[in-house]
Amino acid sequence: MNETFPSPASRREPDLNGQQLGDYQLLRRLGSGAMAEVYLARQVSLDRNVAFKVLKSSLTRDEKCVRRFQQEARAAASLVHGNIVQIYEVGCLRDCHYLVQEYVAGGTVRQWLAGSSGCSAGKAVAVVRQVAAALECASQHGVIHRDIKPENILLTKNGEAKVADFGLARLAIGEQMVDLKLTQQGLTLGTPLYMSPEQIQGGQVDPRSDLYSLGVTAYEILAGTTPFAGETALNVAVQHLHEEAARLETLRADLPRSLCDIVHKLLGKKPDERYESATELIYDLHGLGLEDSDSQWHFAENATDYRALDNARLDATQKLDALMKVESTDRPNRRMVSVVGWGLICGTILGTASAYLRMPRSILEVSYADHPRVEKKKSARLQYLHALLEPSQPSWEAVAHYFGGERQTESRQYVSKANAELAHILFDQGRALEALSLYRQLADLGEDLIEQRALGLAGMANIHQARGNRNELSVTLVRLTADLEKLGGRAQGVIRVLDSPLRERMSRVQNEQRLQAGRRRSQNPRRGGKLRRKSSRFPPRRDGD
């Protein structure tokens, strides 16, 4: 006999606005889901806003519903990541089962799409990349979301994406998949518009199912509509199983083909046709160079030692000032004041020197051992992907530290890419000379790594432009122009690295080169689309001659 959930409409939910539940003052109702009412609340002890999720009273009598509600909290609480809504507490007060989680000021992707006239490729990539990072964290903890959709992706006002609602999660314990859906027999939980084919069929799912749902979400963000639609859930499900989505580039001609290919790869009918992991997806998205905003984590410069310099000067200055006052009222002690004053000046110099010696050394002088150790991966590619997921100076340095001595082209490629990211971080921190040194190393690479060489030249150009080095800038741009011409379609990724004035300048140069190339082609005599051969008294060679 099949068990059924009580109808949510069978009992009206009480209004908890203004209620005090333990440490939480409920301020106003934010919304309602299939299982819970959500309130904005104030946590009194910590004086912070939180989202207070209350299991619907119509469901509290069902033991399975309560258990699933609690398991949702446990599944999500194990995931600590900047792109996942954090769970603070789960409990029960006055027969009210609740879950307290991070409050995200902003709205859902659904609300964002509804309020915008269209989404740029850069903004779409930024959202998809962040969700992919959240899914990678979840998969590493054996958690599958199973319900990725615009309503479950929250956006802050500065564009930070956070995945919410792991209520349909499955926990992987070893190789055994333990179902936490607790659904009734024959009922598949999830949203049909975004469900993967294997999920629709009730089969075993893995993290690639979430990637399919993310692909549907990405498609909708870019196209303004889901790839499949219908009047009934069954109709939509059949399309997910058997129909191919219309190509994105036919709906939006302004989208890069490479971005469209990524989205359609996510929509593969079979899991093996999709990305193997969210990490691989992040790598391809990063390679597009399309994000509207900087995706790097930036850290403030270490100001501790600089303050040591200032403190030494301030302390000595205050003492000298006091001594000068003493001197003005006690002339007979002038010699003693002079001796003490010079002693303090010497002390200031020694304090300054001490602080200087304790200042951070140049990035080129600091050994990798000076930083927190980053675990070594099996290859330069995996080390680079790890740095993409957890971008920091030590993560990027680890790529060169572990694999800088390898001569294979692939390893050298990823080491060079990591060095480019490291140089960008240094430049953003104001450490231009150290960044310039790394950019020069990249600029000296050979033809087999021409894209990384061009990135190095672009970085050098930015620094020369910022420092007003006109001669060096001109020489660098000449070299960069030659490399961009060789890169062809890949040149745009390099041009985006340039600061705005240089970007416009190089775009004009490229347009002029295309015009010149077109004029040269039009001046060459053609016949049937092919260049005429010069007359020859010898017949052309044939295969086998």
In the chain, what are the helix, strand and coil shares in percent, each to the nearest 5?
55, 10, 35
Specify whether the CB–CB gap between 37 and 56 falls below 8 A: yes
The residue from 95, 147, 310, 483 that is catalytic is 147
User: How far apart are the C-alpha atoms of 513 and 332, rounded to whole Å?
Assistant: 83
Which residue in 275, 344, 296, 342 sits closest to 132, CA to CA?
A: 275
What is the chain's alpha carbon radius of gyration, rounded to the nearest angstrom?
Answer: 31
**Could you count the other beta carbons within 10 Å of the beta carbon of residue 109?**
21
458: part of which helix (H) or strand (E)? helix 450-467
What angle in degrees, to the nearest 10, is found between the helix axes of 500-523 and 470-487?
Answer: 50
Q: Cα-flanking dihedrals φ and ψ of residue 360, to 5°?
A: -60, 135
Residue 240 token pair: 């997910």
Residues in contact with 505: Cβ distance below 8 Å, sequence separation at least 6, in sequence order: 477
Q: Cα-flanking dihedrals φ and ψ of residue 317, to 5°?
A: -60, -45
Question: What's the CA dihedral at 197, 122, 450, 502 to 10 degrees?
Answer: 170
Specify whether the CB–CB gap between 99 and 73 falls below 8 A: yes
Residue 349 token pair: 């110099």
The DSSP call for residue 84 is B
User: How far apart are the C-alpha atoms of 476 and 469, rounded to whole Å?
Assistant: 11
Specify whether the CB–CB gap between 168 and 189 falls below 8 A: yes
Residue 68 token pair: 């699933």
In the residue annotation, 147 being an active-site residue is answered as yes
Strand order in the sheet with 143-144: 143-144, 170-173, 176-178
Burial label, 269 (beta-carbon count in 10 A; 0-12, 13-18, 19+): middle
3-state secondary structure of 527: strand
Catalytic residues: 147
